[in-house]
Chains A and B, each alone.
Chain A
Amino acid sequence: MAARKDAVIKSIRSEMALANAQELMNKTNEKCFAKCVTKPSTSLSGSEETCLARCLDRYMEAFNIVSRSYISRISKERLEH
């Protein structure tokens, strides 16, 4: 019974992590394609690839900045009310 419970918990956790990672993938794809591939040609150019790689890093960084400020705001509001 306990083992089956742990298996359920583990599988829900990994589903959640997967969904979160997929959402981040979709977003970076959408945002960075919009920013870096302004005129699609027959293949990605070197400068487009450089832009995409940097954009991916910056989007992750933005996600962390936003995450930090959102969580700190929520904990602040919770203390006040």
Chain B
Amino acid sequence: MADKFDDATQKELANFVEAEQAQARLHSSIHMLTSMCWDKCVTGTPSTRFSRSEEGCLANCVDRFLDTSLFMVKKIEEQRAQHGQLS
């Protein structure tokens, strides 16, 4: 086993790994969203280009999914505020 990295290098590598992990999480979300939106928006046999509606659907799909997520959180918080005393 070679010598250990010095403190400054270890810190730099730790920062680098953290940034790469953030990048990996971003990629993983994009893969998940692409898969989901593909199933929802691309219903026909793949052609040489997307139809206007497929393209629009794909572009809207991500925004509406994130809106849905925010909406659900808001609703659950409202319910919690209403029934907070019960639970």
| Given known A-B contacts A5-B9, A54-B46, A69 and B63 have beta carbons under 8 A apart | yes
**A5 near B5 (CB under 8 angstroms)?**
yes
Give the residues in chain A near B45, CB-CB below 8 Å: 35-36, 51
Chain A, residue nearest B4 (CB): A1
**A24 near B31 (CB under 8 angstroms)?**
yes
A12 touches B (CB below 8 Å): yes
Q: In the complex, how many residues of chain B place their beta carbon closer than 8 angstroms to a beta carbon of chain A?
A: 38
- Report the bound CA distance from A46 to B86 in whole Å: 64
**B46 near A32 (CB under 8 angstroms)?**
yes
Known contacts A13-B20, A66-B61, A69-B59; 13 additional CB pairs below 8 A are A1-B3, A5-B12, A9-B13, A19-B24, A36-B45, A55-B46, A58-B42, A59-B34, A62-B34, A62-B50, A62-B58, A66-B37, A73-B62
18 contacts across the A-B interface (CB closer than 8 A)? A1-B9, A4-B2, A8-B13, A12-B17, A16-B24, A20-B27, A27-B35, A31-B35, A35-B45, A51-B46, A54-B48, A58-B50, A62-B34, A65-B58, A65-B59, A66-B62, A70-B29, A73-B66
Q: Which residues of B contact A (CB under 8 A)?
A: 2-3, 5-6, 9, 12-13, 16-17, 20, 23-24, 26-31, 33-35, 37-39, 41-42, 45-48, 50, 55, 58-59, 61-63, 66
